[in-house]
Amino acid sequence: MLPRYRAAGAGAPSSARRPKPGKLAVNARLHDEVQTRLLEKYSPQQIARRLQLDFPDDAEMRVSPETIYQSIYVQGRGSLRRELHQCLRTGRALRKPQRRADQRRGRIPDMVNISERPPEVEDRAVPGHWEGDLILGAGVSPRSARWWSGLPAS
């Protein structure tokens, strides 16, 4: 049986999902510490770790490096001054998105373009030119014999 709808408690999950002010916007002491250390050219990772060491018993003085980055980069809503992006090691005003895993793979070194193949490949007069010689990971077969040297799938 499904739980019954309760109007009194229906708004609580919705309120919990609403955006909340950031930790740096609410805590002035934390904000000042982070801003001072950014001006001293500390990285957000160093600031987060240093705050843990300097204030070991104060949970309000803890912040993650991502929170610091978000506070700098979120335009209009960021609690840290807009000029503080120059204090970061990259000096970027906007975040540069990370490349996807498939974009990180290297290209084939000394790759021969298919349009640059010798003419004897096209007429198949010389054996030994393989269909998959330009394709990475493909099954190969000689172009002149038109046969395939693979095993049947079991």
In the chain, domain spans: 20-87, 117-147
**Residue 13 belongs to what H/E stretch?**
helix 7-17
Give residue 101's pLDDT band: very low, low, confident or very high (50, 70, 90).
Answer: low
- pLDDT level of residue 116 (50, 70, 90 thresholds): confident
The rounded radius of gyration (Å) of the Cα atoms in the chain is: 30
Burial of 43 (0-12, 13-18, 19+ CB in 10 A): middle
Cα gap 36→41, rounded to integer Å: 9
The kind and range of the H/E element at 120 are helix 119-123
| C-beta separation of 44 from 69 below 8 A | yes
- Print the SS3 string covering 45-107: HHHHHHHHHHCCCCHHHCCCHHHHHHHHHCCCCCCCCHHHHHHCCCCCCCCCCCCCHHHHCCC
Is the pLDDT at 152 greater than 70? The verdict is no
**pLDDT tens digits along 50-69:** 999 999 999 999 999 988 88
Average pLDDT, the chain: 75
- pLDDT given for residue 64 in this prediction: 93
- Beta-carbon neighbour count of residue 74 at 10 Å? 13
Residue 45 pLDDT exceeds 90 = yes
Cα(146)–Cα(10) distance, integer angstroms: 69
Judge whether residue 2 has pLDDT over 80. Answer: no
- pLDDT at res. 49: 96
Q: What is the average pLDDT across 102-114?
A: 70
